[in-house]
Amino acid sequence: MFYNNAKIDVFVMVIFSLLYFTVNIIFPYYVSGIIIILVSNVILILFSILYHILRSTK
């Protein structure tokens, strides 16, 4: 009964990981100010919080 609950969370975590790498590896090539990268990271964290809220209310 426990074993199949985690698959969707693992999938979403991989998606967020890829977004994190995009923000922190690709963005610095195009922007010189740190604020854009900082804000992008915070937005990413806010989206992950939103995902957790939606998942917990299901």
Partner 1 sequence: MIYTLLFYATLIVAVTLYSKFRFKSNFFHAGHDIGPLVLLLTLFATNMTAISIIGAPDRSFSGGFNVFITLGCATALIVPFLFKILGTQVCEQSKAVGFVTQPELVFLKTNSPLCRYLFMALCLCFLIPYIIVGLKGGGEIASVFFKEYGLIVDSKITTALVALLIYVYVVIGGIRGTSLINSVQAFIFIFGSIYIMSFLINKNGGLTETIEQIVVKKPDVFKIESQPSLLEVVSFYVITFSVGAFPHIFNHWCTAKSAKTFNSTVILYPVCVVLLWISCVCIGIVANLELTEQPQSPVIIALISVIDQEWVSGVIAISILAAIMSSLDSQLISVGAIVSKNMTRLSLSHEWILLIFLIACYLISIFSDQSIFQLGIWSLIGFSSLTPLLYVCLTQEKVESKLMVMALVSLLFAWALLLFLDQGVASAIVLFVLSLTFSGWMKFKNSAKLKQGSEVYT
Q: Which residues bind partner 1 (CB under 8 A)?
A: 2-6, 9-10, 12-13, 16-17, 20-21, 24-25, 28-29, 31-35, 37-38, 41-42, 44-45, 48-49, 52-53, 55-56
The Cα–Cα gap between 19 and 2 comes to 29
CB of 57 to partner 1, least distance (A): 9
The Cα–Cα gap between 36 and 27 comes to 9
The Cα–Cα gap between 23 and 44 comes to 9
CB of 7 to partner 1, least distance (A): 8
